[in-house]
Amino acid sequence: QVQLVESGGGLVQPGGSLRLSCAVSGFTLDDYAIGWFRQAPEKERERVSCIRRTDGTTYYDASVGGRFTISRDNAKNTVYLQMNSLKPEDTAVYYCALTRINRFGNWYCSRSAINYWGKGTLVTVSS
């Protein structure tokens, strides 16, 4: 059974930092990609960043580029999202998600490509 467990959310002041963690278990293949998505109240879930487990290829949405950094620790099967210079508009539930690599070696950092979702962790940026 595939499980994705997020942690690290909380309340932070504007300009502050948080690091989210996503622990992955139960996926039997060595190659996959992990994405971070977020959903603010009354808004659609949107893509934030993704990373491929094997070669570390990353993707960032333009809204977080330069402020957020995604990384992985393959020994711990954990993916991190370091969030700096946080803004009130970053307030959302952050979800960790797994997408498979297809037989051609391609993968997609998009909601429609996700195979498994975590339950989310709330990030609130407020003074």
pLDDT reported for residue 42: 94
pLDDT reported for residue 81: 98
pLDDT reported for residue 118: 97
pLDDT reported for residue 87: 96
Average confidence (pLDDT) per 10 residues, the chain, 127 residues = 96 98 92 96 96 94 92 96 97 97 91 94 97
The conformational region for residue 104 under phi > 0 = left, psi -120 to 50 = alpha, else beta, is: alpha
pLDDT reported for residue 29: 86
123 burial (CB, 10 Å; 0-12 / 13-18 / 19+) is: buried
Q: Tokens in use for 19?
A: 């690091």
Alpha-carbon torsion angle 22, 28, 33, 36, nearest 10: -30
pLDDT reported for residue 62: 93
